[in-house]
Amino acid sequence: MHSATTVIPVTRSRLPVARGAGLTHRGLVRDRNEDVILTDPGGRLWAVADGMGGYGHGDVASDIVIDSLETIDDGDPPAEALAHRLADANAIMQARAAEPGMGPMGSTVVAVIISGAHAQIAWAGDSRAYLLRGNRLRLLTRDHSLVQDLVDRGELSPDAAGTHPEAHIVTRAIGGDEGFEAEQMTVPVTSGDRLLLCSDGLTCCVFEPAIAGLLSAAATPDEACRDLVRAALEAGAPDNVSVIVIDIEEG
């Protein structure tokens, strides 16, 4: 007689996975593209760095940011890794600025590490992160800019912010000072979500209702990137335009 055997089924977690694409363009006015993007075939690390041309050497600044982020290992804790690597980029940028013939330089950034069911987002300046869930587009980041400060204090309406003559002035950027610290947030993500990272070259000429429509209509991240950049070009693209679109899919 055989004894009874209890079989306990193995439950395997089906954490979401991330797949995306990125695209950057010089735009229609700038002489060169000082934006740099980082896309990850493994789906973990993504970033947009927007070199500040007004400071000089904006292309060098954005390269420093992306080079520093690329050293993040898969096993590094997301929040700490982003904080440390962006602080490293700030120190490197200040050292380069002190070299003969260089001078002050700076870059905005928005970066995300997707780990399991969470997206850890770090940013500085007016590069942005959005979340599309269903048909609703939500701005996740808050611009570090003069006009955003005016809006927050009630001295400027949100509708007037985009056309304000000082809309280009950022209040926090990598390379700005020794005490630099990126702002961070953790966002739960689920299958069906779509994330957008972008430089202000998109949002200065393509408004959020149009962005939401293009993101919703595109079948793939690659198609969404092409459609967003095309919309910016059709609107005049006065600045470099960079976009990354990431789909959160069932594992």
Q: So where are the chain's domains?
A: 17-249
Q: What is the pLDDT averaged over residues 99-128?
A: 95
Lowest-confidence segment of 122-131, 145-154, 209-218 by average pLDDT: 145-154
The listed CATH number (1.20.1420.20, 1.20.1730.10, 3.60.40.10, 3.40.50.720) that belongs to domain 17-249: 3.60.40.10
Question: For 53-174, where are the E strands, in sequence order?
Answer: 107-115, 118-124, 128-133, 136-139
Are 246 and 38 in contact, with CB atoms under 8 Å apart? no
Q: pTM of the prediction? A: 0.92
Helix, strand or coil, per DSSP, at residue 9: coil
Please tell me the predicted confidence (pLDDT) of residue 238: 96
Report d(CA 228, CA 216) in Å as an integer. Answer: 11
* pLDDT > 70? residue 6: no
Nearest Cα residue to 123 out of 184, 68, 66: 184
Q: How confident is the model at residue 1 (pLDDT cuts 50, 70, 90)?
A: very low
